[in-house]
Structure 1
Amino acid sequence: MSAPGRVYLVGAGPGDIDLLTGRAYKAVVEAEVILYDRLIPPGLIDHAHPDAELIYVGKEGRGPSMPQAEIDRLLVEHGRAGKRVVRLKGGDPFVFGRGGEEALLLREAGIPFEVVPGITSGIAAPAYAGIPVTHRDRASAVALITGHEDPAKPESAIDWPALAAFPGTLVFYMGIGQLPRIAERLIAAGRDADEPAAVIERGTLPDQRTVVATLSTIAERAAAEGFRPPSITLVGSVAALREEGVRWFEERPLAGRSVAVTRARAQASGLATRLRALGAVALETPAIKIVPVDVGVALDPSGYDLVCLTSPNGVRLLFERLAAGGRDARALAGATVAAIGPGTARALREHGVVADVVPERFVAESLVEALAGVPVRRALVARARVARDVLPDALRARGAEVDVVELYETVAEQLDAGERAAAGAADYVTFTSSSTVRFFLDALGGADAISPRTRLVSIGPVTSATLREHGLEPHVEASEHDVDGVVAALLADAAS
């Protein structure tokens, strides 16, 4: 029999992936088996090792779920098999997460375990709603209460008179379905019916919603506005602080706006993260995929007096090809290095190369103009397989010998029905290249699949021209033709 493995009872936090702890992330990426719940941050499971066994054990309110006994069996089975197992839970495993029960089970089975705490939603959701659960003048204590007790219990374990008399903030988890009863029991036990109360739905996520009312009216208000699980209910005078100026989450510049990001998956997450930090619901709908060409084939740039790079992808793959031949940035010594745009120049700097020429406008025509005074005898243009020939044609017209090296090709990325529907109905769709336009429209089945109210954001004139070729007029065009320019243009349009 193999030696037992180790089980990690991991709290994934309240929903915003940026609130995940470093220890929790490390456990996820190193796990061999992950048993994960429904309420974990979107996209977190994508960081698991490709060979990890992923087992969904999520529990749906009022819906089907895996019995706890089966979850227990799986934890013991994989732990005894010597695996590194992560039991991944929303929030904190020891705050209404049954982590204590699972820890006792593992101890009894002789399986080593470790607890990785997470930020609990009862604290985080109110904070994102602008409600501190404690305040020196209003609440010196906070009570965390489950609003959904075990139905097998013969009677409630909650002491309603004690809660009604509690001198501080009450935070109920999983209680939206029981909210009328909770309010009724508290008021009947002596809690002030006019005390402020709040319900926070999908706390810390971009589409978080909050409603504030009194204890006697909060259930009616939440029902009228269609609040659903997962929601946190808070009762206490601190709830009034939201309207007194502590609210901040909804005041971010893109709060509540949905933005579809059509970049390649490896690049989309960076832009999506920036948009989420500004309050947007960022929809990662990558229409393209970057596929390297001639992987592992060495590239020798010596002998060229001009080397042109047209994208950050090109820079990354150029250096991979250099490395395949045992070379590094020194192979570019003696050549004039030109980059289209600051993003490409930034990628070069990450490899220790400062671009000699970066045009003011980030299109091939501007690079041709910028190179007008640069002597060119022999040039290397490293780019995508399908690209405009403006630059190599202009250099050849000057009498230069030009070699075009195709480092990668852009191909279609498949989108599922849900991704297509969400992107077509988004408030904004961002396009960072002509290929994102073509492949995105192909994935959606044509321009008619985009809502008339959706605003189209283009990175620059070439991408805008491609949109027009497909019968679409860009509503927003970045003046700086890079991702920073796209974000700036989007912010300006949202504020107008």
Structure 2
Amino acid sequence: ELFSKYGHDAILVPIMKTGIPDNPASLDELCRKVASSKVDFLIFSSTIGVRYFFEQCGNVPDTTTIIAVGPRTQEAVIDKGLNCETIPSFSSDHFASHLGSRIMGRTVGIVRPDIPNPGLVDSLTASGASVLEGVAYRLVPTGNDLREILPDVDAVIFTSGKSFNLAGVSAGDVPDKTVIAIGPKTAGMMRDHGIVPDIKGNGTLEGCLKALAGQSR
């Protein structure tokens, strides 16, 4: 639907799927802290994180401010009957500027996959927050081969550094394609492997599609 809005047909090739984390201890601890009102801010970066958190943890008290990344994550939180603040895209700078001095001396919980984000943690602790991370799900390869569909597409979007790595795509696979990185971290990963993205998005699919539309004018 989102791709159709911008006049594109999409072929979706899932490179990763989600699963229950090998060690649930960090999420269990975050759940206990949230339930006892010891977490002041709770960050969800994806709809998947929302789903796994509430399957395990139940509700969030009114004393906790929920931060959702992007409109789809916002919708997932609202569907749980909760209010939230929304950051348009995932970026350590966006979190720091949005939360500002409010997190000084406060506890911030992060619901995340089994991929750490030290840049985000550092930006929050630098603002005076204590950070508690809960690994809600893990990301594992699907075995799908993205290269099989590349002859049939004009552009390809990589939605994370890990999915790019697992795809195993090289510069020789995409010589005549518009290559898009969803955000700065993914773009950096791609450059490290010899692919310079034509478009670097703002951390959201819609941002990438807007940039692609602007490029094609």
Q: Which TM class, normalised by the smaller chain length? A: 0.7 to 0.9
- Alignment partner of 1:349 out of 67, 72, 78: 78
Q: How does 1:411-422 map onto structure 2 within 5 Å?
A: 411-416=140-145, 420-422=147-149
1:484 Cα deviation after fit: 2.1
Looking at structure 2, the residues matched to 346 and 407 of structure 1 have their Cα atoms a distance apart, in angstroms, of 19
1:490 Cα deviation after fit: 2.8
**1:371 aligned residue:** 99
Query: Can you list the C-alpha shifts for 1:458-495, whole angstroms capped at 9, x where unaligned?
Result: 2222222222121111112334x3222233223333x3
Q: How does 1:73-152 map onto structure 2 within 5 Å?
A: none
Aligned length: 208
Q: Any gaps of 5 or more consecutive residues in structure 2?
A: none
**AA of the residue aligned to 1:485:** G
Looking at structure 1, the residues matched to 159 and 5 of structure 2 have their Cα atoms a distance apart, in angstroms, of 20
SS where residue 488 of structure 1 aligns? helix
**AA of the residue aligned to 1:313:** I
1:383 Cα deviation after fit: 0.7
Looking at CA atoms only, which structure, 1 or 2, has the larger radius of gyration?
Answer: 1
**2:211 aligned residue:** 489
1:374 Cα deviation after fit: 0.7
CA contact (8 A) 1:476 1:490 kept: yes
**AA of the residue aligned to 2:69:** I
CA contact (8 A) 2:89 2:204 kept: no
| Alpha carbons of structure 1 residues 391 and 453: separation in structure 2 relative to 1, 3 Å | same
Q: Higher relative contact order by CA 8 Å / sep ≥ 6: 1 or 2?
A: 2
CA contact (8 A) 2:42 2:66 kept: yes
1:281 Cα deviation after fit: 4.3
Looking at structure 2, the residues matched to 383 and 275 of structure 1 have their Cα atoms a distance apart, in angstroms, of 26
SS where residue 50 of structure 2 aligns? helix
Looking at structure 2, the residues matched to 395 and 478 of structure 1 have their Cα atoms a distance apart, in angstroms, of 23
Looking at structure 2, the residues matched to 425 and 470 of structure 1 have their Cα atoms a distance apart, in angstroms, of 23
1:387 Cα deviation after fit: 2.6
Looking at structure 1, the residues matched to 125 and 9 of structure 2 have their Cα atoms a distance apart, in angstroms, of 46
Query: Can you list the C-alpha shifts for 1:378-405, whole angstroms capped at 9, x where unaligned?
Result: 2211111113112222333444332211
CA contact (8 A) 1:384 1:406 kept: yes
Query: Can you list the C-alpha shifts for 1:151-195, whole angstroms capped at 9, x where unaligned?
Result: xxxxxxxxxxxxxxxxxxxxxxxxxxxxxxxxxxxxxxxxxxxxx
| Alpha carbons of structure 1 residues 339 and 425: separation in structure 2 relative to 1, 3 Å | same
- Alignment partner of 1:314 out of 10, 24, 49: 49
| Alpha carbons of structure 1 residues 452 and 425: separation in structure 2 relative to 1, 3 Å | farther
Q: Give the TM-score normalised by structure 2.
A: 0.81
Looking at structure 2, the residues matched to 449 and 428 of structure 1 have their Cα atoms a distance apart, in angstroms, of 14
| Alpha carbons of structure 1 residues 276 and 402: separation in structure 2 relative to 1, 3 Å | closer
Asked if 1:440 is matched to 2:167, the reply is: yes
SS where residue 415 of structure 1 aligns? coil
SS where residue 410 of structure 1 aligns? strand
1:365 Cα deviation after fit: 2.1
CA contact (8 A) 1:283 1:423 kept: no
Q: Any gaps of 5 or more consecutive residues in structure 1?
A: 1-272
Q: Calculate percent identity across the aligned residue pairs.
A: 24
Looking at structure 1, the residues matched to 87 and 3 of structure 2 have their Cα atoms a distance apart, in angstroms, of 27
1:278 Cα deviation after fit: 5.8
More helix by share: 2
| Alpha carbons of structure 1 residues 451 and 476: separation in structure 2 relative to 1, 3 Å | same
1:423 Cα deviation after fit: 2.4
**2:199 aligned residue:** 476
Looking at structure 1, the residues matched to 131 and 40 of structure 2 have their Cα atoms a distance apart, in angstroms, of 11
| Alpha carbons of structure 1 residues 392 and 414: separation in structure 2 relative to 1, 3 Å | same
| Alpha carbons of structure 1 residues 280 and 369: separation in structure 2 relative to 1, 3 Å | closer
**1:423 aligned residue:** 150
Q: CA RMSD, aligned part only?
A: 2.6
Query: Can you list the C-alpha shifts for 1:188-224, whole angstroms capped at 9, x where unaligned?
Result: xxxxxxxxxxxxxxxxxxxxxxxxxxxxxxxxxxxxx
**AA of the residue aligned to 2:42:** V
Looking at structure 1, the residues matched to 3 and 87 of structure 2 have their Cα atoms a distance apart, in angstroms, of 27
**AA of the residue aligned to 2:183:** G
Looking at structure 2, the residues matched to 279 and 390 of structure 1 have their Cα atoms a distance apart, in angstroms, of 35
